[in-house]
Amino acid sequence: MNENKENVYGNPLVERYSSPEMSRVFSNRTKFTTWRQLWCELAKAEKKLGLDISDVQIAEMEANIDNIDFDAAKTYEKKFRHDVMAHIHAFGDVSPSARPIIHLGATSAYVGDNTDLIQLRSALELVRKKLLGVIANLKTFALEYKDLPTLGFTHFQPAQLTTVGKRACLWLQDFIMDYHDLEYVLASLNFRGVKGTTGTQASFLSLFEGDHEKVKELDRMVSEAFGFPRSLGVTGQTYTRKIDFRACAVLSGICQTISKFSHDIRLLANLKEMEEPFESKQIGSSAMPYKRNPMRSERMTSIARFVMSLESSPAFTAATQWFERTLDDSANKRLSIPQMFMGTDAVLRIAINVTSGLVVYPGVIAKRISEELPFIATENIMMEAVKSGGDRQELHEEIRTLAQEAGNRVKTEGASNDLIDRIRESDVFDLSDNDLTDLMKPEMYIGRAPEQVVEFINDEVDPLLQCAKDDIETGAELDV
């Protein structure tokens, strides 16, 4: 009896958050059509290398790659308790002349593992495009605000000034590290290829009557047919599950970066210095109409946490495989790997949306600077007074006393910071109003932040974006 989908659990990653293209990568149709493509390419290569396989058989197989009777496959699987054998029989039903040679010499891992690797590659390429989009958006934002002073925070306590653009470069740097990790994993991703039951290629060596070169060529031909220039030099029945972990570690790293970025935006939203995009009809709270909750950043934090929590699954799977293989990897892989990819895809979609429309409030930023800058400027004020003939030790004690008085006034009375007025009125400091005004210019306290932004983008961001300019995805519409 079929249940209406409203009556059964639905995966929110599929229904609400992940992109359709990422969901398709891990769909049953993609999986099983890839199995059939693998059987076709194996037969074609075996024919070219001399096995008795006809053009009619291959043509029949190729004509039915998309003609999958999923109900028939389910019936076969219930009978055989084996998913690969079920689909071999379902494929044979629609390709009867090819039935005798489907899966010839292969083991289940031939279709299962090679399909997993094809899916990993496709999914990583989708992640790569979205990651590039976030990097491109943050580059634009960093350059726009490279000169705008803002209060820095260490321990979420006021610290020396930085600039809004320089802070964005801290986010950018982590995303670029993630990008290089992803590129490395993609570039080093090898096919399992045609390796046989325990990875020795014994069945294929028998098919080709002991011809080692033909067996090696078969492996090369099938790998090349699927766009892999190399296959793994050695495997057991399966490819090493370290490959899964390496890919998932990249996803976890991206989500770590996303989470850090999201937390910063949420904190800045509370300070009213910066906000994620907020649409004209968007409701922040059902009870408090004035609220502008950072719901997109909160969602990024939430989904990123989920992805990071899943990283241990492929780690434990890789660590607990026995000898040439055990089957305790299968169910875990079906659960953890697609969800890690769909979760990462989801947070990157949101990140593209947020970084393309970040809102900055320079007036609030300037106000907060004005409240803290008198404290930050004390050393410069003291040094300037020394230049005018003052005693450094006497000045230090005076400014320490005045700063504590001003700080106490701010904390206990909720009053404004009047440290500069206190210094102006002090007999110990011989500084004019113009001197003090000049010393209170925020741009004097941002160091090389603007220059660092430009240098970082020129040296590290632009070369990366230029090399990948045709793959950048910079826009993302969110359903919710």
285 is catalytic: yes
CA proximity to 320, closest of 213, 384, 240:
240
Query: Distance of CA 455 to CAs 143, 205, 312, 407, 463, Å?
Result: 11, 58, 38, 38, 12
The three-state (H, E, C) secondary structure of 304-372, written as one string? HHHHHHHCHHHHHHHHCCCCCCCHHHHHHHHHHHHHHHHHHHHHHHHHHHHHCCCEECHHHHHHHHHHH
**Distance in angstroms (rounded) separating the CA atoms of residues 153 and 474:** 30
Catalytic member of 54, 188, 206, 285: 285
CB 109 within 8 A of CB 192: yes
CB 358 within 8 A of CB 277: yes
Please tell me the chain's helix, strand, coil percentages from 3-state DSSP, rounded to the nearest 5.
70, 5, 30
**Coil, helix or strand for 234?**
coil
**Distance in angstroms (rounded) separating the CA atoms of residues 193 and 220:** 8
Query: Distance of CA 449 to CAs 125, 161, 360, 445, Å?
Result: 33, 9, 18, 10
* Element (DSSP H or E) covering residue 151: strand 149-154
DSSP 8-state symbol, 98: G
206 is catalytic: no
Q: How many CB atoms lie within 10 A of CB 330?
A: 14
Backbone angles phi, psi at 359, to 5 degrees: -110, 130
* Residues 182-212 as b or e (16 or more Cβ within 10 Å = b): bbebbeebbbbbbbbbbbebebbbebbeeee
Identity of the residue numbered 26: F
* Residues 228-244 as b or e (16 or more Cβ within 10 Å = b): beebbeebbbbbebebb
Q: Which tokens sit at 222?
A: 């099938």
DSSP 8-state symbol, 231: B
Backbone angles phi, psi at 231, to 5 degrees: -110, 165
Using the structure block, give the residue that is written with the tokens 């991206």. 254
DSSP string, 153-173: EETTEEEEEEEHHHHHHHHHH
Active site residues: 155, 285
